[in-house]
Amino acid sequence: MVARKLLAVMLLTGGLTMALVPTASAQQNVTGSLTCDPGPEEIRPLGPPGQWQCTAEVEWSGGTSEPVNPTSLTINTANQKSWMNVIISPSSMTFTPPQGDTRTETKDFTVSVSLRQDAPAFVATQLRLVPDLQPGTGEGQEAVTNPTQIAVTPGYFNLYNVRLDGKIAEGGPDSEVTFPMVIENFSNGDTRFEFSVAQEGGTPEGFQTALPSPLTVRSQATGGENTQGQATFQVFTPFKNGYVNRIASIDLQVDSFYAADTNIEGASSQVSTLTKTKGFYVPGPGAALSAIAMTGVALALTKSRQRIE
């Protein structure tokens, strides 16, 4: 009798133990997937960040619709460049599988990308977003991840410096003075520079100018080694017979453009120059020879008339 009771207890205990151990058919395979909208076409370095609206989805498959433990998903980045600053909010989420026939759950997150000024202009980079799944405990579970990527394209960032070797130059009447300058390109793309006289009314009366030719200066961000360019602004002083004492203040305007597409304008700047001219204007040898020749012609005509008479 006692033996029968012990056997009944052992069978009952064993049955309960078997019921508490999950079977293989109750285990779930977990898949984590990420998707994002197209986002901005370009992001201006040192400007507002570009944002992408994204969705994370976790799907449980296999087994039955019995509840399982929550799944943790963390989003990491790959192929992130040094000039990118990436913020994912939230970067970690917990998914609890719903009961019933629908075995998926989705949650939204945002990706914000800001750029430093050395991000190369219009060079698109595919930033990968990779989900890392930590499924609930249990044997036989398999985690599958489907990453996504977003295209990060820096816009044109314009920054340069114009440095004159000297702002004041002196020359005699009917002479040429020069203003050498160096242009340093700190932009994130090759930059074209064009020049014009800035002040209203143009060059002061009696003076003339020769503008520098348009100049393209490379950018370090896009692989350029020489990021400086040289140009020369020329001023020609007036002349008249006698004493000359004139001063001319001439402002040179510098306009900048993205070299690959001059419809993309950069900043404009001005540099001021001062030209002084003082002294007596003395005609050159050509003028003296012309005067002598005219005198000779006049004398010859006079002698010819005297002979005729």
Report cis status (omega within 30 of 0) of the bond before 283.
Answer: no
Structure confidence at residue 280 (pLDDT):
80
The count of structural domains within the chain is 2
Residues 269 and 169 in one domain: yes
* Residues linked to residue 43 through DSSP beta bridges, in sequence order: 154
102: CATH: 2.60.40
Is residue 282's pLDDT more than 90? no
Please state, in angstroms and rounded to a whole number, the distance separating the CA atoms of residues 210 and 214: 12
Structure tokens at 162: 């114009």
pLDDT of residue 72: 92
3-state secondary structure the chain: CHHHHHHHHHHHHHHHHHHHCCCHHHCCEEEEEEEECCCCCCECCCCCCEEEEEEEEEEEECCCCCCCCCEEEEEEEECCCCCEEEEEECCEEEECCCCCCCCEEEEEEEEEEEECCCCCCCCCEEEEEEEEEECCCCCCCCEEEECEEEEECECCCCCEEEEECCCEEECCCCCEEEEEEEEEECCCCCEEEEEEECCCCCCCCCCEEECCCCEEECCCCCCCCCCEEEEEEEEECCCCCEEEEEEEEEEEEEEEEECCCCCCEEEEEEEEEEEEEEEEECCCHHHHHHHHHHHHHHHHHHHHHHHHC
* Residue 68 and residue 33 in one domain: yes
Q: Is residue 123 part of a domain?
A: yes
Task: Look at residues 135, 152, 169 and tell me which one is the last residue of a structural domain.
Answer: 152
Does 6 map to a domain? no
- Please check whether residue 259 lies inside any domain of the structure: yes
188 part of a folded domain: yes
Q: Are 116 and 89 part of one and the same domain? A: yes
Question: Model confidence over 120-170: pLDDT tens digits?
Answer: 999 999 999 999 998 765 545 678 899 999 999 999 999 999 999 999 999
Which tokens in the block code for residue 57? 């989805």
Residues 106 and 166 in one domain: no
| pLDDT digits 0-9 by tens, 20-29 | 334 444 556 8
Backbone angles phi, psi at 119, to 5 degrees: -70, 125
Instruction: Take residue 112 and report the two structure tokens written for it.
Output: 């914000």
Ranking 15-24, 39-48, 269-278, 295-304 by mean pLDDT, the lowest is: 15-24
Q: Verify that 144 and 173 share a domain, yes or no.
A: no
Judge if 46 and 148 occupy the same domain: yes
Higher pLDDT residue, 309 or 111? 111
Asked whether 108 and 53 are in contact (CB, 8 A), the reply is: yes
Residues 271 and 189 in one domain: yes
Q: Does 51 lie in the same domain as 33?
A: yes
**Boundary-marking domain end, from 152, 179, 211:** 152
Write down the pTM of the prediction: 0.75
By mean pLDDT, which of 4-18, 39-53, 69-83 is the weakest?
A: 4-18
Find residue 256's DSSP bridge partners: 193
Query: What pLDDT, in 10s, does the model give residues 185-200?
Result: 999 999 999 999 998 8
- The most confident of 2-6, 15-19, 67-71, 268-272, by mean pLDDT: 268-272
> Which residues, listed in sequence order, are joined to residue 233 by a DSSP beta bridge?
179
179 and 261 assigned to the same domain:
yes
267 pLDDT above the threshold of 90: yes
Looking at 108, 128, 152, the residue that finishes a domain is 152
User: Quick check: is 4 in a domain?
Assistant: no
- Domain extent at residue 206: 160-284
pLDDT at 296 over 70: no
Looking at the structure, do residues 134 and 196 belong to the same domain, yes or no? Answer: no
Domain membership of residue 109 (yes or no) is yes
Does residue 220 sit within a domain? yes
CB 63 within 8 A of CB 27: yes
Q: pLDDT tens digits, residue range 164-221?
A: 999 999 999 999 999 999 999 999 999 999 999 998 888 898 999 999 999 999 999 9
* Shared-domain flag, residues 143 and 260: no
Query: For residue 84, is it within any domain?
Result: yes
User: Per-residue confidence at 308, pLDDT binned at 50, 70, 90?
Assistant: low
CATH assignment of the domain containing 239 = 2.60.40.10
Are 98 and 208 contained in the same domain? Answer: no
**The pLDDT of residue 170:** 93
